[in-house]
Structure 1
Amino acid sequence: MAGILDNVIFAAFLCLIGGVATSSQGAVNAKLGQYSGQGLSSTIVFCIGAITSLIYFLIEVEGRPPADLAARLHQAPWWAWSGGVIGALFVIINILTIPKLGAGTTSAIIVCAQLVFSCIIDNFQFFGINYRTYTLWRGLATVGLIGCVAAIAKF
Structure 2
Amino acid sequence: MWYLYGFVLLAGVANAVQAGQNGALSKGLSQSLTAGLVVAAGTASCILAVGLASGKLAWPTYAQAMEMPWWAWFGGILGGGIILAQFVVARQIGAAPFLGLLVTAGVVTSIVLDHFGWVGFERHPATLWRILGGILMVGGVALVAMS
Q: What band does the TM-score fall into relative to the shorter chain?
A: over 0.9
| Runs of 4+ with >2 A deviation | 59-63, 68-71
Q: Which residue of 2 aligns with 1:29?
A: 22
Which of these residues, 15, 39, 43, is aligned with residue 8 of structure 2? 15
Percent of pairs with identical residues: 26
What whole-Å deviation, never above 9, does each CA across 1:31-67 have from its counterpart, x for those lacking one?
A: 100111321111110011111111222223267x37x
Counterpart CA distance in 1 for 2:133 and 2:112 is 13
So what's the TM-score if we normalise by structure 2? 0.92
Distance 1:132 1:18, change over 3 A: same
Which of these residues, 119, 144, 154, is aligned with residue 111 of structure 2? 119
The reply to whether residue 109 of structure 1 matches residue 70 of structure 2 is no
Q: Which residue of 2 aligns with 1:90?
A: 82
Q: Which runs of 5+ in 1 are unaligned?
A: 1-6
The reply to whether residue 41 of structure 1 matches residue 35 of structure 2 is yes
Task: Return 51-60 or 145-154, whichever deviates more.
Answer: 51-60
Q: How many residue pairs were aligned?
A: 146
> Secondary structure at 1:21's aligned position in 2?
helix
Q: Match for 1:10: what amino acid?
A: Y
> What is the RMSD of the two structures over their aligned residues, measured on CA atoms?
1.6
Distance 1:62 1:102, change over 3 A: closer
Q: Which runs of 5+ in 2 are unaligned?
A: none
